[in-house]
């Protein structure tokens, strides 16, 4: 019987373990640039717009106090604000202009502030726009399945772009909770060797496989022990985008409850009559049950 896991939102895709950090003094304003680079586009553009408006409101109040804008209504905050916007944007319509020494000093200060804001905003937008983004699709579930009578941990990835990722390297780590001889609880990170950890040209799909033999860190474990030890599989792909010639990386993790035991993925690759290869992403996350008794026997042989 075919199973299709529920589609998860982006927030759930990136949600892993929930940690509560105590005793650490947070200072987000000291790393505002990095914070805005990681923030969504909408939040970054909103912050730039808010800073621009706030500066103009501040200078508008100073212009009202100086009372040095020609052709502006005396004490009118709206005229002062729009004059500030024209000054900061170096628009220079000419209808209003500074006519006193204090107003000219304010114009000089505002022009300098506008140049700095424009430089920082342009640099931030360009840096955010130029950050290489990998469109690598990970299967929603990892599987423990039997291959040639031996159990394997498998999951598949796909390149959603039409280009190639050159010299793609996959690194898989097992994170699980253990207790030392002294009784200290630790989260250990254990490398899982793969049958193939490199792909010279990653253009379509790639089924990543770890053989669960007597040398495997997963040897002797089952679904219950994975849940009991709070295990997590973390996979990281690094490669070179052949279009922009920059390094890209894509990370995903599978919690213990996201690993299905005794199943195999549905086929997504089909050869068409004209010789072309069809890749059907509609079945990318689908998996089918194996023969239950065969899967159970295979898993028992690994213990």
The pLDDT value given to residue 297: 42
pLDDT digits (tens, 9 = 90+) for 252-268: 999 988 899 988 888 88
Q: How far from chain centre, in Å, is Cα 207?
A: 22
The pLDDT value given to residue 128: 84
Q: Among residues 130, 152, 180, which one ends one of the domains?
A: 130
Task: Give CA–CA dist 269/272, Å, rounded.
Answer: 10
The pLDDT value given to residue 279: 77
Q: In the structure encoding, which two tokens stand for residue 138, read together?
A: 């990970």
Confirm if 186 and 175 have CB atoms less than 8 A apart: no
Say if 19 falls within a structural domain. no
Say if 267 falls within a structural domain. yes
The pLDDT value given to residue 17: 58
Spans of the chain, pLDDT less than 50? 1-15, 291-303
Report the CATH number at residue 237.
Answer: 2.60.40.1400
- Same domain flag for 95 and 229: no
Task: Please tell me the total count of domains within the chain.
Answer: 2
- Same domain flag for 141 and 90: no
The pLDDT value given to residue 53: 93
List the end-to-end C-alpha distance of the chain, in Å, as a whole number: 28
pTM of the model: 0.67
- Same domain flag for 195 and 80: no
Confirm if 262 and 250 have CB atoms less than 8 A apart: no
Say if 17 falls within a structural domain. no
pLDDT digits (tens, 9 = 90+) for 186-234: 888 889 999 999 988 888 888 999 999 988 998 888 888 888 888 899 9
- Same domain flag for 113 and 242: no
- Same domain flag for 137 and 50: no
- Same domain flag for 249 and 219: yes
The pLDDT value given to residue 208: 93
Residue 70 is part of which domain span? 28-130
The pLDDT value given to residue 23: 57
- Same domain flag for 158 and 232: yes
- Same domain flag for 138 and 108: no
The pLDDT value given to residue 249: 87
Q: Among residues 82, 100, 130, which one ends one of the domains?
A: 130
Report the CATH number at residue 67.
Answer: 1.10.287.70
């Amino acid at each position: 019987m075919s199973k299709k896991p529920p589609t998860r939102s982006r927030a759930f895709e990136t949600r892993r373990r929930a940690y509560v950090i105590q005793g650490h003094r947070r200072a987000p304003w000291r790393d505002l640039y990095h914070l805005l680079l990681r923030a969504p586009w909408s939040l970054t553009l909103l912050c730039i717009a808010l800073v621009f408006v706030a500066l103009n409101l501040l200078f508008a109040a100073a212009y009202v106090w100086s009372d040095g804008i020609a052709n502006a209504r005396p004490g009118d905050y709206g005229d002062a604000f729009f004059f500030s916007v024209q000054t900061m944007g170096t628009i220079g319509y000419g209808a209003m202009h500074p006519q006193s020494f204090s107003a000219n000093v304010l114009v000089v200060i505002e022009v300098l502030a506008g140049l700095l804001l424009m430089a920082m905003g342009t640099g931030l937008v360009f840096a955010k726009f130029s950050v290489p983004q990998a469109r690598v699709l990970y299967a929603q579930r990892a599987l423990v399945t039997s291959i040639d009578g031996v159990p394997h941990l498998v999951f598949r990835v796909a390149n959603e772009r039409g280009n190639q990722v050159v010299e793609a390297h996959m690194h898989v780590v097992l994170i699980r909770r253990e207790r030392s001889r002294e009784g200290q609880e630790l989260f250990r990170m254990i490398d899982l060797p793969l049958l193939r950890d490199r792909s010279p040209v990653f253009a379509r799909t790639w089924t990543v496989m770890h053989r669960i033999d007597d040398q495997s860190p997963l040897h002797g474990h089952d679904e219950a022990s994975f849940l009991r030890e709070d295990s997590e599989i973390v996979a990281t792909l690094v490669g070179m985008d052949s279009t922009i010639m920059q390094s890209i990386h894509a990370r995903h993790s599978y919690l213990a409850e996201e690993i299905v035991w005794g199943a195999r993925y549905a086929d997504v690759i089909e050869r068409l009559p004209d010789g072309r290869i069809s890749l059907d992403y509609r079945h990318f996350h689908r998996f089918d049950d194996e023969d239950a008794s065969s899967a159970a026997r295979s898993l028992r042989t690994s213990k």
